[in-house]
Amino acid sequence: MQQPAPRSLPDRAFPVSWDQFHRDARALAWRLAGAGPFDSIVCITRGGLVPAAIIARELEIRMIETVCIASYHNYTDQGGLRVIKGIDGTIAGTEGGRGVLVIDDLVDTGKTARMVRDMLPKAHIATVYAKPQGRPLVDTFVTEVSQDTWIYFPWDMGYAFQPPIRDGAAG
């Protein structure tokens, strides 16, 4: 689930590198290894795509489905939730989602997780990161961050020159 885009600089920033995200996604897989077995993964797009690929590899899960839910329509305002693509009936119809692992990068307010939980009430929902408002809606996560923290995911950032500290740059 995407987090609300900050209107100004966030109170707290949590930049995540590709290496760190990969380590955190593998840590999530490690925690999930004993929670299964899982027959399939449903990843919540777009943020769930990268961790779902890593977890599918680590847990040897071949059946991967997506659910596409839009809640941020212009990077500044969170609109109403809209299902762009639902879950395939062969997966959604499996005893309310029993044996289904739902993956996302982040649970923020929990609105998206709640919508997916309504679709798959018996699925196991896991996220890499969790904020306090959404945390009760997920079964497994790796790292909790405060509600006022903006997570900068690696796919949202580019490499940029950083001037040396001796030149007056903040560390």
Active-site residue, 118 included: no
Would you list the domain boundaries of the chain?
Answer: 13-153
Q: What is the mean pLDDT of residues 167-171?
A: 56
- Position 103 scores a pLDDT of 98
Maximum separation of any 2 CA atoms in the chain, in Å: 61
CATH architecture of 13-153: 3-Layer(aba) Sandwich (3.40)
pLDDT in tens, 118-147: 999 999 999 999 999 999 999 999 999 999
pLDDT beyond 80 at 6: no
Using alpha carbons, select from 105, 110, 112, 103 the residue that is nearest to residue 152: 105
Q: Which amino acid is at 7?
A: R
Catalytic residue among 39, 108, 118, 148: 108
The catalytic residue among 105, 118, 156, 167 is 105
Single out the catalytic residue among 104, 139, 148, 156. Answer: 104
Catalytic residue flag (residue 139): no
6-42 burial code (b ≥16 CB/10 A, e <16): eeeebeeeeebeeeebeebbbebbeebeeeeebebbb
77 noted as active-site residue? no
